[in-house]
Structure 1
Amino acid sequence: MERALAGRTLVLASASPRRHDLLGRTGLKFEVEPADADETMNLALGAAAIAEDLALRKARMVAGRRASEASASPAAALILGSDTVVVLGEDENPARRFLEKAAHAQEALEMLRALSGTRHRVITGVAAVRVDGDVSLEFADHETTWVTMRRLNDEELAAYVASGEWEGKAGAYGIQGSADRFVERLEGGGFDNVVGLPVERTLALLGRACAALP
C-alpha cells in the first residue's frame, strides 16, 4: 500500500482515537487532520448511504481546506474520512431510529435501554478523496455488522453509564471496552467495523483510489 500511495500523503480526517489506532495497526504512515463537517443526516437516504455521505463530507472538508491553504496547486494527498452509525430498525420501517453520540448520561441510559435485547445494525462508511494537483476523485464504501445485544438489567445499565465509557460513541457503547460482555453475536461485518473502521474494506478502498485513472 505504501508503494501504491506513490508519494501521496495519507490523511485521516478524524479525531477518533479508535480510528487512529486501527489505521495505525496497518503500518501505514498517515497524518491526522480532524474534520468538523456538518453531521446532519439526510434521512431520505438508506442507512448505508447516510454513513457513506457523512464519511465523504469529512474527507471533502479536509481536502477543501488543504486546497484553500495551498499557495499553488494542492500537494498530492489521499484523504480518508469515516463515520459510524447505529441503527434500530430496517430502512423500510417508519420507526427506524439512529442512535448517535449521547449528549449526557441520561440520554446514554435511554439509548442503552433501547438497544438492550435487540439485533441492530452498526454501519461504518469510509470515503477517500484523492487530490492530485487541481484534480480530485471521490470513492466511498461501507460495512454493516449486525449486533445482537443481550437483555441488560438495571444494575448493569447504571454501572456502565457511571463508567463514562459511553462518551463519544455512537449508540452509547464501545464494544472494545467493557460493553463487549453485552454482545452475544456479530454477523456480517467484523469487530473492527463496530469499533469504527473496517480495516480490510478501508485498505481495499484506498487501493482503488490509488489505482484509478485521473
Structure 2
Amino acid sequence: MILASSSPRRRELLSQAGVSFEVISPHLAEPVDLCGATPMQTAQALAYFKARAVWDSHRDRWVLGADTIVNEGGEVLGKPLDAEHARSMLRRLSSARHTVITGVALLGPGGRRSIMAQATGITMRRMTEQEVDQYISSGEWIGKAGAYAIQETADRFVQRVEGSFSNVVGLPMELVMNMLAREGVIA
C-alpha cells in the first residue's frame, strides 16, 4: 500500500498499527473552496484528490489519501498561511467548540475505491493572549489545520474531545483499519 501524504503524524499512526506501507507525497495544490460542499464532502474530496494524484501513476497498488480540516461555525479552517492567520484561528477557537473532520480515500486496482470521513468534536478552553503568542512562537501551528496539533503542546488548550483522538491527529484509525480490512489490504 502507498500512503499519499507528507504528514509524519499519519505515517506514525499507520506504523503504530503495524500496517506495511510506503510513502509518496502527492504533488497538488489544495483547493480552498469546493463551491457549496459541506465540510464532510470537502474533507472527502481533498482526500480523494491526494490519493488520486498518486494512484494515477500506481494503478496496480492500493493508495490511501487523507485530509484533515477544522469546521468552526460553518467555516472550514485549513492550514494557516502565516503566523497572523494562525493567531486569528487560535483566537477564534479559544473558548469554542469546533469539529475536526478527516476525509479518507482508499483507491485500488481495477478502480476500486472507498471514500469516507469522520468527525470529532473539540472544545477548547479560553486561551490568553500570552499563551497564543507563545504557541505561535513555537512554530507548532505550521502545516496544521486549525493552527494547532493536539498531539503536541496544544493539548493543554483542549478541554474536551468527543470522538476519535487519532482523527484529530490526522487519521481516524478505527475507520482506516476497517476500510483496509474490508478491501483485503490487511488481514
Alignment TM-score > 0.5, same fold:
yes
2:141 is matched with which residue: 151, 162, 166? 166
Partner of 2:30: 39
Give the 5 Å matches for 1:180-195.
Answer: 180-187=155-162, 189-195=163-169
1:119 is matched with which residue: 89, 97, 103? 97
Moved over 6 A (4+): none
**Shift, 1:46, TM fit:** 1.1
In 1: Cα distance, 2:14 partner to 2:114 partner: 18
Look up the equivalent residue of 2:167 and give its one-letter code.
Answer: N
Q: Is the 8 A contact 1:43 1:50 kept in 2?
A: no
In 2: Cα distance, 1:52 partner to 1:37 partner: 16
Larger Rg: 1
1:137 and 1:38, CA in 2 relative to 1: closer, same or farther beyond 3 A? farther
Q: Residue 171 of structure 1 aligns to a residue in which SS?
A: helix
Q: Is the 8 A contact 1:86 1:100 kept in 2?
A: yes
Q: Residue 135 of structure 2 aligns to a residue in which SS?
A: helix
Gaps of 5+ in 2: none
In 2: Cα distance, 1:38 partner to 1:154 partner: 32
Q: TM-score, structure 2 length as denominator?
A: 0.94
Partner of 2:150: 175
Count the aligned residue pairs: 184
**Shift, 1:206, TM fit:** 1.5
Structural RMSD (CA)? 1.2
1:154 is matched with which residue: 105, 129, 135? 129
Q: Residue 25 of structure 2 aligns to a residue in which SS?
A: coil
1:206 is matched with which residue: 176, 180, 185? 180
1:130 is matched with which residue: 102, 108, 114? 108
**Shift, 1:43, TM fit:** 3.6
In 1: Cα distance, 2:4 partner to 2:95 partner: 34
1:143 and 1:156, CA in 2 relative to 1: closer, same or farther beyond 3 A? same
In 1: Cα distance, 2:180 partner to 2:62 partner: 8
After superposition, give the CA deviation of every residue in 1:75-127 in whole Å (9 maximum; x if it has no partner): x31100000010112xxxxxx21111112111111110011111000000111
Q: Is the 8 A contact 1:78 1:129 kept in 2?
A: yes
Partner of 2:5: 14
In 1: Cα distance, 2:53 partner to 2:128 partner: 42
Q: Percent identity?
A: 44
Q: TM-score, structure 1 length as denominator?
A: 0.83
**Shift, 1:29, TM fit:** 1.1
In 2: Cα distance, 1:43 partner to 1:152 partner: 33
In 2: Cα distance, 1:105 partner to 1:209 partner: 41
Q: Is the 8 A contact 1:38 1:57 kept in 2?
A: no
After superposition, give the CA deviation of every residue in 1:23-55 in whole Å (9 maximum; x if it has no partner): 111111101001123421314111111111111
Q: Residue 186 of structure 1 aligns to a residue in which SS?
A: strand
